[in-house]
Amino acid sequence: MIKFGKLFKARDRRSIAELEQITEALGTARERYRRIFKGVHGFGFMDWDIANRHVSWSGSFWSYLGYNEGDMAHLSNPAVSLEYIHEDERKEIERAVKAAFRGDDIREMTFRLRKKRGGFIWAECRLEIERNKKGWVTFISGVVFDITELKKSEEALHESERRHARIIQSSNDAIWEWTAQRGEFLYSDRCWQQLGYLDKDGKLVYGQDRIKAYRDLIHDDDQEMIDRALLGHINDKKPYDIEFRIRAKDGSWRWIRSRGQMAYDEYDKPLRMSGTNMDVTQLKKAEEGVIKAKEEAERANRAKSEFLSSMSHELRTPLNAILAYSQLLEMDKNIGEVQRENNREIKRAGLHLKQLVGDVLDLAKIEAGNIQLQLEECNLFSLTQECLLLLRSQVQKKHIKVRLQSNNNQNASVLGSVTHLRQVILNLLSNAVKYNREAGAIDIQLHKTTDLKILLEISDTGMGISNNLQDKIFQPFSRLSTEYKNIEGSGVGLVITQKLVQQMGGEIGFRSVESEGSTFWIRMPLATTQSSSQNLTKGAYPGQQHEQRLALNFSEEKNILYIEDNLSNQKVMQQIVARFPLLNLHMEREGIRGVYAARAMKPDLILLDISLPGMDGYEILEIMKASRDMEGVPIVALSANAMAEDIARGKRLGFTDYLTKPIDVLELITMLNVQLATPQEALP
């Protein structure tokens, strides 16, 4: 304030008019500053007169907080002003003011300020301290403004940083960054902790180059790969995602998965690259365990396949004699009815044993996923009719009535494998016959479902399945009950049926009431187009070959070389060929002698066993195929190695045909007619 007394003494000559002008100018300036302070929205002004213990507040900031002029008068007391500051910052403000009184310079203070209607805002006060000649504080003046939004942004940023830190901490990932400006890598402590190091370890202190120390631990075989990946990412922007080995503190090797992303400047030059390191050692060990388990499973599967192949071979060899001799006896007109009936029993038992072996092999192939299904359009109605023809004698023997109803679905097509779908239907129908009662009935229905599928239901009037056995129906080697203990079967037919249906994309199930009967059903996907049944059931169905005549279709003598080490199989072949005067049979038991015999006589046909001592059938085949003397001579395998892969391998390596033991005489004669008859003779 201007002291008017001194003014009059210093300037006695000044007139009253001049004094009034000065007073008016001061008032005008004061009013102008008042308007300015009031007009600056969001800012408040403070002037603390220390000597008079008075705080002047001005500006719109205070009305923004809800305070009026009366409140401002109350706030002019410094002791009262502190009450409007949050208690957590109040002591810090007091300490700062005391420090200013001691001579320290304070430029700003941050605190929470209470609004009139409750709640707080964050405020920042930028200060200017005025001192007298003695250095005592006379005025503390400043500007106060709202920084609440800034504080919220800072808190959100800090929370984001804390959240990312928690995520990184919980994930056990380490972070790193490369900067182009300084050309250095920055590693977080987690990079070292992954290797078992602590901050106090020598690798991290004493000013050592961390990147060099870290790189020295990386496996020598992986360092070049890392460099290539980095250059590829930096120069060609390829993804940087690699795995490398690194030596841990305890000497073990750890697996690290490193991923990163490069940032570029406006000129597309590398600026910085940030990334993470993940310890994947346990994952690698798990992968190695899975690979090892897979290899062991594959070895076990190969061992099982080898065992099944060996079992099949060993069982089929004696079966060859049983079934071949029974077929020869069947063709003999000189035996009596009793002997003929006995022969039928021998043949029936042999065929049953052959079926058992085939079922076990089929199940093993399905479980191993070795059956390849060629899906095509199939007609369920036509296939069912074919299967009923095959079972006609069994149906008639038990006086069973069969009813087949298409329900207008006789031309409906489903998607499946013709061969395997026929096998499925034949299995279900065969069970319906076997487990039916004498003079019972079989009802077969086809329905189209709402989900674009065809439902085939086969119902019988048998004894049904008891409730305690129903959950075992689709288990391998499970027989229905003691009531059916005299019915032949392997106990795997339904298992094979289920797996085949599922592999063709269908469903299978059943319902049964004990003492009343059972209904087995399959539901197959409906094909998108419909075709006539004549175009859908391709290939010969089982039993067609029996319609052929047991006769040769050629009129000239033919020489056959049979290389077989088993005497029983040789005798069987001798007796079969002896029935056909046009066939001359020459036999050898050893592979090398068979090769010499083939070159010497150049036969019209060679029958070759696979499992021969010394030199097996594949080696003999290779020698004969390479010989010009054997050019044009058909070489047919006749082997007890009857698994699908055996047959496929034989045909792939060059056998003209591949027949399996036990020998089917009709199949053998058909092959001879195909291989030995001239084109003219082969015509019907």
Per DSSP, the residues of 501-548 read HHHTT-EEEEEEETTTEEEEEEEEEBPSS---GGGTS-SPPTTGGGGS
| 92 Cβ neighbours under 8 A, 6+ residues apart | 109, 111
* Residue 537: per-residue pLDDT: 37
Mean pLDDT of 594-615: 91
Q: How far apart are CA 84 and CA 67, in angstroms?
A: 12
Q: How far is CA 394 from CA 41, 485, 665, in A?
A: 105, 18, 23
**DSSP secondary structure letter of residue 424:** H
pTM for the full model?
A: 0.44
Among 525, 403, 402, 392, smallest CA distance to 455 is for 525
| pLDDT for the residue 364 | 66
Specify the pLDDT at position 320: 80
Q: What is the pLDDT of residue 398?
A: 92
DSSP type of residue 472? G
**Quick one: what percent of the chain has pLDDT higher than 90?**
25
Question: Is the pLDDT assigned to residue 534 strictly greater than 90?
Answer: no
Kindly state the average pLDDT of the residues 593-609. Answer: 92
662 preceded by cis ω (within 30°)? yes
* Segment 487-504, tens digit of pLDDT: 555 456 788 888 888 888
pLDDT above 60 (res 107): yes
Tokens 């599922």, residue?
502
Which strands, in side-by-side order, build the sheet including 517-525? 401-405, 441-448, 453-460, 517-525, 507-513
Q: 208, 231 in Cβ contact below 8 A?
A: no
The pLDDT of residue 160 is: 79
pLDDT tier at 542, thresholds 50, 70, 90: very low
Averaged over 460-474, what is the pLDDT? 85
Q: What pLDDT, on a 0 to 100 scale, did the predictor assign at position 679? A: 57
Predicted pLDDT at 7: 47
Tens-digit pLDDT profile for residues 134-151: 888 888 888 888 888 888
Whether pLDDT at 510 is above 80 = yes
Q: What average pLDDT does this structure show over 210-225?
A: 87
Residue partners of 254: CB distance under 8 A and separation at least 6: 194, 195, 245, 246, 247, 248, 279, 281
Where does residue 217 rank: exposed (0-12), middle (13-18), buried (19+ CB within 10 A)? Answer: middle
Confidence of residue 414 (pLDDT cuts 50, 70, 90): very high
DSSP designation for 372? P
The pLDDT of residue 15 is: 58
> If you count DSSP H runs as helices and E runs as strands, how many of each does the chain have, helices first?
22, 22
Which pLDDT belongs to residue 529?
A: 45
Cβ–Cβ < 8 Å for 279, 256: yes
In order of 316, 326, 567, 592, the CA distances from 573 in angstroms are: 15, 13, 10, 21
The torsion defined by the Cα of 286, 290, 295 and 301, in degrees rounded to 10, comes to 150
Among candidate residues 324, 316, 318, 329, the one with its CA nearest the CA of residue 572: 324
**Distance between CA 281 and CA 252 in Å, rounded?**
11
**Most trustworthy range by pLDDT among 10-19, 329-338, 395-404:** 395-404
278-282, 389-393, 541-545: range with lowest mean pLDDT: 541-545
Element of type H or E holding 247: strand 240-247
- 580 vs 298, more confident: 580
Q: Where do we find the tokens 């200013």?
A: 100
Mean of pLDDT over the chain: 81
Query: What is the token pair recorded at 59?
Result: 């500006």
Compute the average pLDDT of residues 608-637. 90
146: enclosing H helix or E strand: strand 137-146
Neighbours of 465 (CB within 10 A): 21
